[in-house]
Structure 1
Amino acid sequence: MFDLHRLRLLRELKHRGTLAAVATALSYSPSSVSQQLSVLEKEVGVPLLEPVGRRVRLTEQAEILVAHTEAVLERLEQAQAEVAGSLTGITGTLRLAAFQTAALTLVPPALTLLRAAHPALRVHVTEAEPESALPALRARDFDLVVAEEYPGHPHPRHPELEEVDLIRDTLRLALPVGAGEGAPGDQPWVMEPEGTPARRWATALCRDAGWEPDVRYESTDMLLHLRLVEQGHAAALLPDLLWCGRKPTVPLLELPGGHRSRRLFTVVRGGSSRHPAVRACREALARAAEDLDRAAGGR
């Protein structure tokens, strides 16, 4: 019978890409990881890794082992969820990742709800963009991720992950005071960095309108986007969630139909979806989203 610990190391290598990254994540030395994988190769009786430049790649047989390891780990997560569900209270630690806007507006009220209902539950929060948080969720660095999807730009789906819709967040064109409605193509712009889903969506939206945006400022920080608009330096595409029910401080214009809202959703691994802590956190986030939606008054 193959050793599960060594199989997990092989799985970690698939998700993290290098022996050094596996060693860092698991607090091992790279040489220890390499030795354990060598032992696993002897147990299996076939090569599991092949060199590609300075890196290594999993062989076909290694990919088969990883697929079965994923199934075993999912069953173990299901067992953990059932054991936790048999207890009278929710305890332990839940590791939550959320992108900035959600971390600012949805996470704090959700934490308040969780603290009141489940005081023994410890929630560890990390601000992370979905493009890094979702792979980390698959690698079991997080238990729950709040992610986003922009109109016309669906993110890759993974069968081992389970998504639940949270809220539709309206997006609007924000212009400096006095810019006028016909001026977005003449304005400097602030956008998220090249290669991000938000940047691809925003660039496509501008091009569909017939002009190329003059992007002078790049940041994932929506508060910086807002400050640049407020002080007359740039136009931006801002989500309603940023206002958190407050009155906007800059002029906002509607976007064309089909481009008006992003989808916010929670993501967990399928094996942990029934864990009481995961379910409680999802419910708290959903309640926080509903409260913010009501506060916005359908703006």
Structure 2
Amino acid sequence: MFDLHRLRLLRELKHRGTLAAVAAALSYAPSSVSQQLSLLEAEVGVPLLEPVGRRVRLTEQAEILVAHTEAVLERLQRAEADIAGSLTDLTGTLRIASFQTAALALVPAALGLLRDRHPHLRVHVTHMEPEKALPALQARDFDLILAEEYPGNPNPRHAELEQEELLDDPLRLALPMPAGTPEGLGPMPTLRALADHPWVMEPEGTTARHWATALCRTAGFEPDVRFETTDLLFHLRLVEHGHAAAFLPDLVWSGQPTTVSLRQLPRGQRARRVLTVVRRGSGTHPAVLACREALRGAATSRASSSPTSSTSSTSPTS
């Protein structure tokens, strides 16, 4: 029978890419990881790694082993969930990763609900964008992540992950006050009126940037992106001071009144989906169930108290 610890090291290598990354994640020496994988090769009787420059790549046989290892680990996660479900008190540590606006608008309230209902559960939260959080979830660095999907840009569907929709977060065009965009225009003409105005967007390579750029191109122009950051509060500040136009989700307000002029986006582009994602097999774990319930409670509470401001405006449907 193959050694499970060594199989897990092989799985880690698939997800993290290098022996050094595996060693750093598990607090091992790289030489120790290499030695354990060499022993696994001897157990299996076939090469599991092949050199590619200064890196290594898993062989076909190694990929087969990793697929079976994933199935074994999923079964063990279900066993862990069953044991936790048999206990009367919820304990242990739950590791969460969340992108910025969900962390600000939803996580604090959810933490309060978890503290009241499960005082012995320790919750660890990390601010991390979904592009990095999803691979980290697969690598078992987190137990649950909050992710987002923009219109027409669904996340990759990994067989070893399970996702559940939490809420739809409206997206709006935020106008810089000096832009002088006339009232009463439809969504697409309003967008075109900002073709020559500076924009703030998330960095290249992010889903949000891909969506925003595609929307501007659909309106017939290439956005003049002068400011790039994943910090949507910085996006908001730039709009408030008239330096840039932006696309802002409603979660950015965190229950506070709006401070800029907002316009409706074209049909099919008016909301992003906020999701909770876990590894397959862990969705029935009591801590995960409790966290998802708390996040739903926070989302419901936020929706019932969502602010309305005279600075927000809608435009004719387009």
Question: TM-score, length-normalised on structure 2?
Answer: 0.92
SS of residue paired to 2:157: coil
Unmatched 5+ stretches in structure 1: none
SS of residue paired to 1:145: strand
Partners of 1:111 and 1:296 lie apart in 2 by 19
Partners of 1:39 and 1:100 lie apart in 2 by 43
Q: Deviations over 1:210-230 (max 9, x none)?
A: 111000000000000001111
Percent identical pairs in the alignment equals 73
Partners of 1:147 and 1:289 lie apart in 2 by 14
Please identify runs of 4+ aligned residues in structure 1 that moved more than 2 A.
180-183
Q: CA deviation at 1:271?
A: 1.1
Q: Deviations over 1:172-225 (max 9, x none)?
A: 011111313353112100000001100000000001011110000000000000
Q: Deviations over 1:72-103 (max 9, x none)?
A: 11111100000000000111000000000001
Partners of 2:136 and 2:29 lie apart in 1 by 20
The answer as to 2:271 corresponding to 1:261 is yes
The answer as to 2:141 corresponding to 1:131 is no
Q: Deviations over 1:138-191 (max 9, x none)?
A: 111000000000001111001111111000000001111131335311210000
Partners of 1:135 and 1:27 lie apart in 2 by 19
The answer as to 2:270 corresponding to 1:238 is no
The answer as to 2:235 corresponding to 1:228 is no
The equivalent of 1:117 in structure 2 is: 117
Tell me if the contact between 1:143 and 1:268 (Cα under 8 Å) persists in the aligned partners: yes
Q: Deviations over 1:54-73 (max 9, x none)?
A: 11000000000000100111
The equivalent of 2:203 in structure 1 is: 193
Tell me if the contact between 1:163 and 1:268 (Cα under 8 Å) persists in the aligned partners: yes
The answer as to 2:219 corresponding to 1:209 is yes
RMSD over aligned CA atoms reads 1.1
Pairing 1:1-80 to 2, within 5 Å after superposition = 1-80=1-80
SS of residue paired to 1:185: coil
Unmatched 5+ stretches in structure 2: 182-189, 313-318
| Aligned positions, number | 299
Question: TM-score, length-normalised on structure 1?
Answer: 0.98
Q: Which amino acid aligns with 1:168?
A: D
Tell me if the contact between 1:143 and 1:269 (Cα under 8 Å) persists in the aligned partners: yes
Q: Deviations over 1:9-38 (max 9, x none)?
A: 000000000000000000001000000000
Among 266, 289, 296, the alignment partner of 1:279 is 289
